[in-house]
C-alpha cells in the first residue's frame, strides 16, 4: 500500500485516516513547540511516535518517508527555538534516528502482515469450492470467484455486507448459515441443520434447495469452521459450498441398480434352488430304483455335485448380505445357535460355552459359525465332537471352535482363508471377510491328526461380557 494519492483520497476510509494523521501531526508539532518554549522536552518529544506509527501501519510503503519528514521537522523546531550545543545535538540526532527506526520497523511489520493477508485472500479466491468468510460481526470479508459463479453475485456487491446477506443467495431469506451460527452462537447448530456432523474439526451438512438455480433444485454440501485468534477467541468463520447434485444422482442410480440386480439375483437363486431340489429328489429316487453298483456310484457323484451347487447358492446369498446392515453388539451364543439350526448335526457331540459373551460384529456373524461348523461335519474330517468356547487374553478375546477330526496339514493352513475354487475355501474366505469388517481376524491353530482348532480373535474394544467390569 502506498501513501494516499488522488484516487485513494476519494475513498471515505482513507479520507478519515488522512484527516486524523494531519490533525495528530499538527497537534504533536504544536505541543513540542510549546514544550520547548517552556523548557519541557523530555516528555513531549516522544509524542512524534504516534503519527509515525499510525502512518507506517496504514501506509507501509511510505512509512520511511513520513518518519524522515517528522524527524526533520523535530530537528528544525529544536534548532529554531533553542539552538543546542554539540552534546545536545548528538542527543537530538539519536532521538531523530530512533523516530526513523520506529517508522521503518512498523512499516516492515505492517507490510509483511498485509502481504500475508493478501496471500490468504488469494488462496481463498482461487479455491475450487465456492467459499466465503465473515468477521465477528457477521460482515462478509471474503467472497471468492467460485461463489460468484455459483450465486451470480459479484464480490464488490457482497464485501462488507452484514445482516445475513450471504444467505439470500441460497435460501432467499436472511438466516444464519453454519458460519453465522459459529460466530454468533445463536441457538444450537443442530436446530437449523438436523443432519449436521463434524469431520476433522469442520461442521458439515448436506441440504437440498429446491428453488436454487432457476427452480431446478440442487444438493449442496456446506462445510464451515470458526476462525480463532491466539487466545482461542472466535474472530470470524469461513464456509465452503459444493454442488453435489451429480454425486447424489449417481449414488441414487447405483443404489437402484444394485437393488434391481439383487432382486434379479434373488429370483435366479430361487429358481436354481428349486430346480436343484427337484433334481436331487429324482436322483434320490434313482438310487432306490437301480441296483447296478456303477449306476448307483454315478448317481451318488451327481448328488454330491448338486449338494455342492446348493451350498454355493447359499454362500452367494450370504455374500450379498455382507455390510447391508451396520455392525452391532451380537450375543455369540445366539449366533452359534442360529448357525447350528441350519445344519444336521447327526450324532456329533456339540457343546458351546459362550452364554455371556457379546461381540461388535456384522449381523452376519452366524454365517461365520455356520461355515466353521459345516466344515467340521464333513465325513472326511472324521470328527465326533465340536466344542466352542472363548478365552480372555491380553490383546483381546479369542473364540475357539475345535473338533477331534484329522485336522488340517500345516502346508494347507496358509491357504484356508483365501478365495479358492472349492467350496471349502469359499466358505472360510466368506467367514474371514465378515470378521474383518469389525477388525476381527481368524486363524487355524490345531495339530494335524489331532483336530482342527479355529480361533476368532476379537480386539479389546470389540467384546464385552455380561456382569463383568472391564
* pLDDT tens digit sequence for 244-262: 888 877 777 666 655 555 5
Global pTM value: 0.44
- Same domain as 186, residue 99: no
Q: Which of 123, 146, 167 is the last residue of a domain?
A: 123
Give the Cα separation of 84 and 100 in Å (integer): 21
Please, are residues 162 and 132 in contact by the beta-carbon 8 Å criterion? no
The pLDDT, as a whole number, for residue 452 is 94
- Same domain as 328, residue 317: no
3-state secondary structure of 424: helix
Backbone angles phi, psi at 238, to 5 degrees: -125, 140
Give the Cα separation of 427 and 376 in Å (integer): 12
The pLDDT, as a whole number, for residue 397 is 95
- Same domain as 328, residue 449: yes
- Same domain as 113, residue 229: no
228 forms bridges with which residues in the sheet?
A: 234
Total domain count for the chain? 4
Question: Environment class of residue 286 by beta-carbon count within 10 Å: exposed (0-12), middle (13-18) or buried (19+)?
Answer: middle
In a domain, 1, yes or no: no
- Same domain as 275, residue 157: no
Q: Which of 228, 243, 258 is the last residue of a domain?
A: 243
Q: Which of 193, 208, 243 is the last residue of a domain?
A: 243
* pLDDT tens digit sequence for 70-111: 777 777 776 676 665 666 666 667 667 777 777 777 777 777
| Strand duo 385-393 + 349-352: pairing | parallel
In a domain, 331, yes or no: yes
- Return mean pLDDT, the chain: 78
* pLDDT tens digit sequence for 122-141: 777 778 889 999 988 889 98
* pLDDT tens digit sequence for 348-399: 999 999 999 999 998 889 989 998 998 899 888 889 999 999 999 988 999 9
If you search the block for the grid coordinates 465378515, which residue do you land on? 434
**In terms of residue numbers, what domain contains 235?**
128-243
Check whether 454 has a pLDDT greater than 50: yes
Q: Within 13 Å of residue 306, how many CA atoms lie on the same side as its CB?
A: 19
Reported as type and span, the H/E element at residue 456 is: strand 453-458
In a domain, 104, yes or no: yes
- Same domain as 227, residue 299: no
- Same domain as 300, residue 280: yes
- Same domain as 42, residue 144: no
Integer Rg of the chain from CA = 40
Reported as type and span, the H/E element at residue 141 is: strand 140-143
- Same domain as 342, residue 445: yes
Reading across the β-sheet that carries 328-331, which strands appear in turn? 328-331, 357-361, 463-465
In a domain, 270, yes or no: yes
Residue of 321, 319, 311, 302 lying closest to 342 (CA atoms) = 311
Q: What is the CATH number of the domain that holds 182?
A: 3.30.450.20
- Same domain as 222, residue 145: yes
- Same domain as 331, residue 463: yes
Q: What is the CATH number of the domain that holds 400?
A: 3.30.565.10
- Same domain as 462, residue 363: yes
Amino acid at each position: 500500500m502506498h501513501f494516499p494519492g488522488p484516487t485513494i483520497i476519494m475513498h471515505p476510509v482513507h479520507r478519515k485516516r488522512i484527516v486524523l494523521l494531519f490533525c495528530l501531526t499538527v497537534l504533536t508539532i504544536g505541543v513540542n513547540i510549546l514544550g520547548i518554549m517552556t523548557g519541557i522536552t523530555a516528555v513531549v518529544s516522544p509524542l512524534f511516535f504516534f503519527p509515525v506509527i499510525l502512518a507506517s501501519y496504514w501506509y507501509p510503503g511510505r512509512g520511511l518517508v513520513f518518519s524522515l519528514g517528522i524527524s526533520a521537522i523535530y530537528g528544525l523546531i529544536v534548532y529554531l527555538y533553542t539552538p543546542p550545543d554539540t552534546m545536545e545535538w548528538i542527543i537530538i540526532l539519536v532521538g531523530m534516528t530512533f523516530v526513523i527506526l520506529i517508522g521503518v520497523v512498523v512499516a516492515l511489520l505492517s507490510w509483511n502482515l498485509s502481504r500475508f493477508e493478501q496471500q490468504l485472500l488469494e488462496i481463498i479466491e482461487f479455491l475450487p469450492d465456492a467459499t466465503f468468510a465473515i468477521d465477528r460481526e457477521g460482515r462478509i470479508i471474503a467472497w471468492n470467484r467460485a461463489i460468484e459463479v455459483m450465486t451470480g453475485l459479484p464480490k464488490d456487491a457482497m464485501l462488507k455486507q452484514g445482516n445475513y446477506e450471504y444467505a439470500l443467495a441460497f435460501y432467499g431469506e436472511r438466516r444464519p448459515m453454519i458460519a453465522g451460527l459459529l460466530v454468533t452462537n445463536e441457538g444450537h447448530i443442530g436446530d437449523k441443520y438436523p443432519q449436521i456432523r463434524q469431520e476433522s474439526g469442520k461442521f458439515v451438512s448436506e441440504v437440498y434447495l429446491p428453488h436454487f438455480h432457476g427452480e431446478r433444485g440442487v444438493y449442496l454440501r456446506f462445510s464451515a469452521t470458526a476462525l480463532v485468534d491466539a487466545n482461542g477467541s472466535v474472530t470470524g468463520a469461513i464456509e465452503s459450498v459444493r454442488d453435489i447434485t451429480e454425486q447424489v444422482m449417481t449414488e441414487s442410480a447405483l443404489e437402484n441398480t444394485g437393488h434391481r440386480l439383487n432382486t434379479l439375483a434373488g429370483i435366479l437363486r430361487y429358481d436354481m434352488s428349486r430346480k436343484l431340489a427337484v433334481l436331487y429328489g429324482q436322483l434320490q429316487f434313482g438310487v432306490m430304483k437301480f441296483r447296478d453298483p456303477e449306476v448307483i456310484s454315478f448317481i451318488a457323484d451327481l448328488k454330491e455335485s448338486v449338494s455342492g451347487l446348493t451350498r454355493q447358492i447359499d454362500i452367494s446369498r450370504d455374500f450379498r448380505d455382507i455390510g447391508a446392515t451396520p455392525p452391532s453388539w451380537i450375543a455369540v451364543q445366539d449366533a452359534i445357535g442360529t448357525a447350528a439350526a441350519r445344519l444336521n448335526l447327526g450324532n456329533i457331540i456339540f457343546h458351546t460355552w459362550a452364554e455371556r459373551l457379546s461381540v461388535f460384529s456384522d449381523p452376519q456373524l452366524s454365517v461365520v459359525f455356520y461355515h466353521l461348523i459345516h466344515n467340521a461335519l464333513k465325513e472326511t474330517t472324521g470328527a465326533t465332537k465340536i466344542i466352542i468356547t472363548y478365552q480372555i487374553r491380553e490383546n483381546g478375546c479369542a473364540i475357539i471352535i475345535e473338533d477331534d477330526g484329522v485336522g488340517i496339514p500345516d502346508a494347507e493352513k496358509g491357504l484356508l482363508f483365501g478365495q479358492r475354487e472349492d467350496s471349502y475355501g469359499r466358505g472360510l474366505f466368506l467367514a474371514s471377510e465378515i470378521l474383518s469388517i469389525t477388525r476381527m481376524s481368524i486363524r487355524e491353530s490345531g495339530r494335524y491328526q489331532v483336530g482342527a482348532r479355529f480361533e476368532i480373535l476379537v480386539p479389546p474394544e470389540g467384546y464385552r461380557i455380561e456382569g463383568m467390569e472391564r
